[in-house]
Amino acid sequence: MRIKIEQKILAKNEDFASANRKYFKRNNILCINMISSPGSGKTTILEQTAKALKNKLNIAVIEGDLYTEYDADRIRKTGLQAVQIETKGACHLSAEQITKAFHKLDAEKLDVLVIENVGNLVCPSDFDLGELRRVVVLSTAEGDDKCAKYPGSFAQADVLLINKMDIAKHVDFKISKAKRDARKLNKQLKIFEISAKTTAGMDKWFNWLLKSCKELRK
Amino acid sequence: MHEAMVAENIIESILSQVPSKKGRVVRVVISCGQMNALNDEAMEFAFEAAAEGTICKGAKLKIKHIPLKAKCKTCGKKFDYDLYEPQCPRCGKSDFDIGEDAPLLLEEIEFEVH
Protein backbone atom coordinates (compact mmCIF):
# COMPACT_ATOMS: atom_id res chain seq x y z
CA MET A 1 0.00 0.00 0.00
CA ARG A 2 1.41 3.36 -1.06
CA ILE A 3 0.85 6.22 1.32
CA LYS A 4 1.49 9.80 0.25
CA ILE A 5 2.91 11.86 3.08
CA GLU A 6 4.41 15.07 1.56
CA GLN A 7 5.64 16.36 4.89
CA LYS A 8 8.67 18.53 5.58
CA ILE A 9 11.22 16.43 7.41
CA LEU A 10 12.52 19.32 9.50
CA ALA A 11 9.02 20.71 10.09
CA LYS A 12 9.50 20.79 13.86
CA ASN A 13 12.68 22.86 13.52
CA GLU A 14 10.97 25.17 11.06
CA ASP A 15 8.04 25.77 13.43
CA PHE A 16 10.40 26.85 16.20
CA ALA A 17 12.44 28.92 13.73
CA SER A 18 9.44 30.89 12.49
CA ALA A 19 8.26 31.54 16.03
CA ASN A 20 11.74 32.78 16.95
CA ARG A 21 11.91 35.01 13.87
CA LYS A 22 8.49 36.50 14.59
CA TYR A 23 9.57 37.31 18.14
CA PHE A 24 12.88 38.90 17.08
CA LYS A 25 11.15 41.02 14.43
CA ARG A 26 8.41 42.20 16.75
CA ASN A 27 10.93 43.17 19.41
CA ASN A 28 13.47 44.71 17.01
CA ILE A 29 16.20 42.29 18.03
CA LEU A 30 18.81 41.81 15.33
CA CYS A 31 19.37 38.06 15.65
CA ILE A 32 22.50 36.85 13.88
CA ASN A 33 23.43 33.24 13.20
CA MET A 34 27.23 33.07 13.01
CA ILE A 35 28.62 30.07 11.17
CA SER A 36 32.22 28.96 10.53
CA SER A 37 34.81 26.23 10.96
CA PRO A 38 36.22 25.70 14.45
CA GLY A 39 39.05 28.14 15.19
CA SER A 40 38.13 30.79 12.63
CA GLY A 41 37.96 33.44 15.36
CA LYS A 42 34.21 33.84 15.97
CA THR A 43 34.61 34.33 19.71
CA THR A 44 37.49 36.79 19.31
CA ILE A 45 35.42 38.77 16.79
CA LEU A 46 32.60 38.92 19.35
CA GLU A 47 34.97 39.98 22.15
CA GLN A 48 36.22 42.86 20.00
CA THR A 49 32.67 43.72 18.97
CA ALA A 50 31.66 43.85 22.62
CA LYS A 51 34.57 46.16 23.46
CA ALA A 52 33.81 48.52 20.62
CA LEU A 53 30.02 48.64 20.77
CA LYS A 54 28.90 47.87 24.29
CA ASN A 55 28.11 51.52 25.00
CA LYS A 56 26.10 51.82 21.79
CA LEU A 57 24.25 48.52 21.57
CA ASN A 58 22.86 46.04 24.05
CA ILE A 59 24.29 42.73 22.81
CA ALA A 60 23.79 39.19 24.10
CA VAL A 61 25.38 35.97 22.90
CA ILE A 62 24.22 32.36 22.73
CA GLU A 63 27.24 30.10 22.44
CA GLY A 64 27.05 26.68 20.83
CA ASP A 65 29.75 24.09 21.36
CA LEU A 66 29.89 20.34 21.73
CA TYR A 67 31.30 20.68 25.24
CA THR A 68 32.49 23.27 27.82
CA GLU A 69 31.48 26.79 28.91
CA TYR A 70 34.79 28.23 27.70
CA ASP A 71 33.29 30.57 25.13
CA ALA A 72 30.41 31.85 27.26
CA ASP A 73 32.98 32.62 29.98
CA ARG A 74 35.07 34.62 27.51
CA ILE A 75 32.03 36.62 26.42
CA ARG A 76 30.92 37.29 30.02
CA LYS A 77 34.36 38.75 30.79
CA THR A 78 33.62 41.50 28.25
CA GLY A 79 30.53 42.44 30.25
CA LEU A 80 27.93 40.98 27.88
CA GLN A 81 25.29 38.41 28.77
CA ALA A 82 26.01 34.93 27.44
CA VAL A 83 24.31 31.54 27.57
CA GLN A 84 26.17 28.39 26.67
CA ILE A 85 24.52 25.50 24.85
CA GLU A 86 26.47 22.27 25.07
CA THR A 87 25.25 20.00 22.29
CA LYS A 88 27.06 16.95 23.74
CA GLY A 89 28.28 15.86 20.36
CA ALA A 90 25.63 17.20 17.99
CA CYS A 91 27.05 19.04 14.98
CA HIS A 92 24.65 22.00 14.82
CA LEU A 93 22.21 24.06 16.88
CA SER A 94 18.46 23.69 16.46
CA ALA A 95 15.79 26.37 16.63
CA GLU A 96 14.25 24.77 19.73
CA GLN A 97 17.57 25.05 21.59
CA ILE A 98 17.62 28.76 20.75
CA THR A 99 14.08 29.25 22.09
CA LYS A 100 15.09 27.62 25.38
CA ALA A 101 18.45 29.41 25.70
CA PHE A 102 16.87 32.77 24.91
CA HIS A 103 14.59 32.46 27.94
CA LYS A 104 17.69 32.48 30.17
CA LEU A 105 18.67 35.94 28.91
CA ASP A 106 17.38 39.30 30.04
CA ALA A 107 15.75 40.38 26.77
CA GLU A 108 14.78 43.82 28.06
CA LYS A 109 16.17 46.49 25.69
CA LEU A 110 18.19 43.95 23.75
CA ASP A 111 19.42 45.23 20.36
CA VAL A 112 21.48 42.33 19.08
CA LEU A 113 21.48 38.61 19.76
CA VAL A 114 24.40 36.74 18.27
CA ILE A 115 24.17 32.97 18.06
CA GLU A 116 27.66 31.54 17.74
CA ASN A 117 26.91 28.22 16.08
CA VAL A 118 28.90 25.02 16.56
CA GLY A 119 32.17 25.26 14.61
CA ASN A 120 31.25 23.43 11.40
CA LEU A 121 30.89 24.68 7.83
CA VAL A 122 28.56 21.86 6.76
CA CYS A 123 25.62 21.00 9.01
CA PRO A 124 24.56 24.31 10.62
CA SER A 125 23.69 25.81 7.25
CA ASP A 126 20.69 23.44 6.92
CA PHE A 127 19.09 24.49 10.20
CA ASP A 128 17.17 27.73 10.29
CA LEU A 129 17.30 29.13 13.82
CA GLY A 130 14.92 31.99 13.14
CA GLU A 131 17.76 34.47 12.72
CA LEU A 132 17.27 37.72 10.80
CA ARG A 133 20.79 37.74 9.36
CA ARG A 134 23.36 35.07 8.70
CA VAL A 135 27.09 35.76 9.01
CA VAL A 136 29.75 33.33 7.89
CA VAL A 137 33.37 33.65 9.04
CA LEU A 138 36.30 32.34 7.04
CA SER A 139 39.84 32.68 8.37
CA THR A 140 42.78 32.92 6.02
CA ALA A 141 44.59 29.95 7.60
CA GLU A 142 41.78 27.66 6.40
CA GLY A 143 42.65 28.37 2.77
CA ASP A 144 41.15 30.45 -0.03
CA ASP A 145 39.29 27.48 -1.57
CA LYS A 146 36.73 26.98 1.21
CA CYS A 147 33.91 29.05 -0.29
CA ALA A 148 33.81 26.78 -3.30
CA LYS A 149 34.21 23.60 -1.24
CA TYR A 150 31.44 24.37 1.27
CA PRO A 151 28.95 26.30 -0.88
CA GLY A 152 25.88 25.87 1.36
CA SER A 153 27.24 28.06 4.14
CA PHE A 154 28.36 30.86 1.82
CA ALA A 155 25.40 30.78 -0.57
CA GLN A 156 22.92 31.47 2.25
CA ALA A 157 24.82 34.16 4.17
CA ASP A 158 24.28 37.94 4.27
CA VAL A 159 27.80 38.79 5.41
CA LEU A 160 31.18 37.12 5.00
CA LEU A 161 33.90 38.12 7.45
CA ILE A 162 37.33 37.12 6.19
CA ASN A 163 39.32 37.00 9.41
CA LYS A 164 43.06 36.77 10.22
CA MET A 165 43.95 39.04 7.31
CA ASP A 166 47.11 39.93 9.27
CA ILE A 167 48.57 36.49 8.49
CA ALA A 168 47.14 36.09 4.97
CA LYS A 169 50.49 36.45 3.25
CA HIS A 170 52.12 33.84 5.47
CA VAL A 171 49.51 31.21 4.61
CA ASP A 172 49.30 31.96 0.88
CA PHE A 173 45.71 33.11 1.09
CA LYS A 174 44.56 34.77 -2.13
CA ILE A 175 41.83 37.18 -1.20
CA SER A 176 40.76 37.66 -4.83
CA LYS A 177 40.08 33.94 -5.24
CA ALA A 178 38.08 33.63 -2.01
CA LYS A 179 36.01 36.69 -2.90
CA ARG A 180 35.43 35.57 -6.48
CA ASP A 181 34.23 32.12 -5.37
CA ALA A 182 31.98 33.60 -2.69
CA ARG A 183 30.42 36.15 -5.06
CA LYS A 184 29.77 33.43 -7.64
CA LEU A 185 27.60 31.69 -5.07
CA ASN A 186 26.01 34.79 -3.67
CA LYS A 187 25.74 38.11 -5.49
CA GLN A 188 24.33 40.04 -2.51
CA LEU A 189 27.01 38.89 -0.06
CA LYS A 190 28.71 41.71 1.87
CA ILE A 191 32.39 40.92 2.40
CA PHE A 192 34.54 42.53 5.09
CA GLU A 193 38.27 41.80 5.42
CA ILE A 194 39.22 41.92 9.07
CA SER A 195 41.72 40.95 11.71
CA ALA A 196 40.04 40.41 15.05
CA LYS A 197 43.48 40.32 16.66
CA THR A 198 44.75 43.70 15.42
CA THR A 199 41.16 45.05 14.89
CA ALA A 200 42.14 46.18 11.38
CA GLY A 201 39.07 46.44 9.16
CA MET A 202 36.64 45.82 12.05
CA ASP A 203 35.09 49.30 11.69
CA LYS A 204 33.15 48.23 8.63
CA TRP A 205 31.68 45.29 10.52
CA PHE A 206 30.73 47.51 13.47
CA ASN A 207 29.09 50.00 11.10
CA TRP A 208 27.15 47.21 9.40
CA LEU A 209 25.82 46.13 12.82
CA LEU A 210 24.83 49.67 13.78
CA LYS A 211 23.19 50.27 10.42
CA SER A 212 21.30 46.95 10.48
CA CYS A 213 19.92 47.71 13.95
CA LYS A 214 18.76 51.12 12.77
CA GLU A 215 17.05 49.63 9.71
CA LEU A 216 15.26 47.10 11.88
CA ARG A 217 13.78 49.82 14.09
CA LYS A 218 12.35 51.73 11.11
CA MET B 1 26.53 14.03 10.38
CA HIS B 2 23.23 15.87 10.62
CA GLU B 3 21.86 13.01 8.51
CA ALA B 4 21.36 11.23 11.87
CA MET B 5 18.89 13.89 12.99
CA VAL B 6 17.17 13.87 9.60
CA ALA B 7 16.79 10.09 9.88
CA GLU B 8 15.27 10.32 13.36
CA ASN B 9 12.78 12.92 12.11
CA ILE B 10 11.81 10.67 9.18
CA ILE B 11 11.16 7.67 11.40
CA GLU B 12 9.19 9.81 13.87
CA SER B 13 6.98 11.16 11.05
CA ILE B 14 6.38 7.71 9.59
CA LEU B 15 5.46 6.17 12.93
CA SER B 16 2.91 8.90 13.54
CA GLN B 17 1.27 8.33 10.14
CA VAL B 18 1.16 4.59 9.45
CA PRO B 19 -2.40 3.25 9.41
CA SER B 20 -1.59 0.37 11.73
CA LYS B 21 1.32 -0.95 13.73
CA LYS B 22 0.56 -4.42 12.32
CA GLY B 23 2.68 -4.32 9.22
CA ARG B 24 5.92 -2.98 8.01
CA VAL B 25 7.29 -0.17 5.91
CA VAL B 26 9.12 -1.55 2.89
CA ARG B 27 10.02 1.62 1.02
CA VAL B 28 10.52 5.26 1.93
CA VAL B 29 10.88 8.10 -0.59
CA ILE B 30 12.40 11.41 0.45
CA SER B 31 13.57 14.39 -1.57
CA CYS B 32 15.98 17.24 -0.98
CA GLY B 33 17.13 20.39 -2.73
CA GLN B 34 20.61 21.66 -3.51
CA MET B 35 21.37 23.87 -0.51
CA ASN B 36 20.15 21.26 1.95
CA ALA B 37 21.60 18.35 -0.02
CA LEU B 38 22.07 15.07 1.78
CA ASN B 39 24.94 12.71 1.33
CA ASP B 40 23.37 9.49 0.04
CA GLU B 41 25.70 7.10 1.81
CA ALA B 42 25.54 8.89 5.15
CA MET B 43 21.76 9.17 4.84
CA GLU B 44 21.30 5.47 4.09
CA PHE B 45 23.54 4.55 7.00
CA ALA B 46 21.72 6.88 9.39
CA PHE B 47 18.31 5.69 8.21
CA GLU B 48 19.21 2.06 8.72
CA ALA B 49 20.37 2.82 12.25
CA ALA B 50 17.29 4.89 13.12
CA ALA B 51 14.95 2.24 11.66
CA GLU B 52 16.36 -0.49 13.87
CA GLY B 53 13.73 -1.83 16.27
CA THR B 54 10.83 -0.13 14.46
CA ILE B 55 8.43 -1.22 11.71
CA CYS B 56 10.71 0.61 9.29
CA LYS B 57 13.51 -1.88 9.80
CA GLY B 58 14.84 -3.09 6.46
CA ALA B 59 12.90 -0.51 4.42
CA LYS B 60 14.53 0.70 1.21
CA LEU B 61 15.29 4.40 1.19
CA LYS B 62 15.08 6.37 -2.03
CA ILE B 63 16.59 9.87 -2.06
CA LYS B 64 15.53 12.24 -4.85
CA HIS B 65 17.74 15.25 -5.50
CA ILE B 66 15.61 18.08 -6.86
CA PRO B 67 17.48 20.57 -9.07
CA LEU B 68 17.40 24.27 -8.33
CA LYS B 69 15.85 26.19 -11.25
CA ALA B 70 17.46 29.37 -12.52
CA LYS B 71 16.78 31.84 -15.33
CA CYS B 72 19.57 33.84 -16.95
CA LYS B 73 18.96 37.59 -16.69
CA THR B 74 21.02 38.20 -19.82
CA CYS B 75 19.66 35.72 -22.35
CA GLY B 76 16.58 34.34 -20.63
CA LYS B 77 17.71 30.71 -20.70
CA LYS B 78 16.10 28.50 -18.06
CA PHE B 79 18.44 25.89 -16.60
CA ASP B 80 19.31 23.76 -13.56
CA TYR B 81 21.53 25.80 -11.28
CA ASP B 82 24.86 24.25 -10.47
CA LEU B 83 26.06 25.38 -7.05
CA TYR B 84 29.65 24.63 -7.94
CA GLU B 85 29.79 26.16 -11.44
CA PRO B 86 27.05 28.75 -11.46
CA GLN B 87 26.91 30.15 -14.96
CA CYS B 88 24.42 30.19 -17.80
CA PRO B 89 25.00 27.18 -20.07
CA ARG B 90 24.06 29.30 -23.11
CA CYS B 91 25.76 32.69 -22.72
CA GLY B 92 28.19 31.99 -19.87
CA LYS B 93 27.05 34.99 -17.79
CA SER B 94 26.48 34.56 -14.09
CA ASP B 95 23.62 36.93 -13.36
CA PHE B 96 20.35 35.09 -12.85
CA ASP B 97 17.18 34.73 -10.89
CA ILE B 98 17.27 31.63 -8.76
CA GLY B 99 14.09 29.80 -7.82
CA GLU B 100 13.24 28.45 -4.42
CA ASP B 101 15.26 25.46 -3.28
CA ALA B 102 13.26 22.30 -2.62
CA PRO B 103 12.78 21.53 1.08
CA LEU B 104 13.71 18.27 2.74
CA LEU B 105 10.54 16.31 2.17
CA LEU B 106 9.19 12.94 3.22
CA GLU B 107 7.23 12.14 0.06
CA GLU B 108 5.71 8.71 0.47
CA ILE B 109 6.05 5.31 2.02
CA GLU B 110 5.07 1.83 0.95
CA PHE B 111 3.39 -0.10 3.70
CA GLU B 112 2.68 -3.83 3.86
CA VAL B 113 -0.12 -4.93 6.14
CA HIS B 114 0.43 -8.28 7.80
ipTM: 0.82
Q: Which domain holds residue B37?
A: 3-67+101-113
**Total structural domains in chain B?**
1
The minimal CB distance from B6 to the residues A5, A9, A151 is found for A9
Question: How far is A200 from A206, CA to CA, in rounded Å?
Answer: 12
Q: Which helix (H) or strand (E) holds A138?
A: strand A133-139
Domain-located, residue B12: yes
Res B86: pLDDT: 75
Res B99: pLDDT: 86
Which residues, including other chains, have CB under 8 Å from residue B28's CB and lie 6 or more apart?
B10, B14, B47, B56, B59, B60, B61, B62, B106, B108, B109, B110
Which residues, including other chains, have CB under 8 Å from residue A172's CB and lie 6 or more apart?
A144
> In this complex, do A187 and B19 lie within 8 Å of one another by their Cβ atoms?
no
Q: Which helix (H) or strand (E) holds B26?
A: strand B23-32
CATH number at residue B32: 3.30.2320.50
Domain-located, residue B15: yes
Contact between residue B47 and residue B8 where contact means Cβ atoms under 8 Å apart: no
Residues of A in contact with B36 (CB under 8 A): 126, 152
Give pLDDT tens digits for A91-117: 899 999 999 999 999 999 999 999 999
Question: How far is A77 from A181, CA to CA, in rounded Å?
Answer: 37
Q: How high does pLDDT run on average in chain A?
A: 96
Question: How far is A217 from A132, CA to CA, in rounded Å?
Answer: 13
Cα angle A168-A170-A175, degrees, rounded to a multiple of 5: 25
Res B1: pLDDT: 59
Residue of A9, A35, A186 best to disrupt the B interface, most CBs of B under 10 A: A9
The minimal CB distance from B9 to the residues A2, A9, A155 is found for A9
Q: State the fold for domain A11-217.
A: Rossmann fold (3.40.50)
Whether residue B15 lies within 8 A of chain A, CB to CB, comes out as: no
Flag residues of chain B having pLDDT under 50. Answer: none
What percent of chain A is modeled with pLDDT above 90?
A: 90
Res A185: pLDDT: 84
φ and ψ at residue A69, rounded to 5 degrees: -105, 15
What percent of chain A is modeled with pLDDT above 70?
A: 100
**Cα separation values, B60 from A2, B9, B18, B42, Å:** 14, 16, 16, 14
Per the rule left: phi > 0, alpha: psi between -120 and 50, beta: everything else, A99 is alpha
Give pLDDT tens digits for A48-83: 999 999 999 999 999 999 999 999 999 999 999 999
Domain-located, residue B51: yes
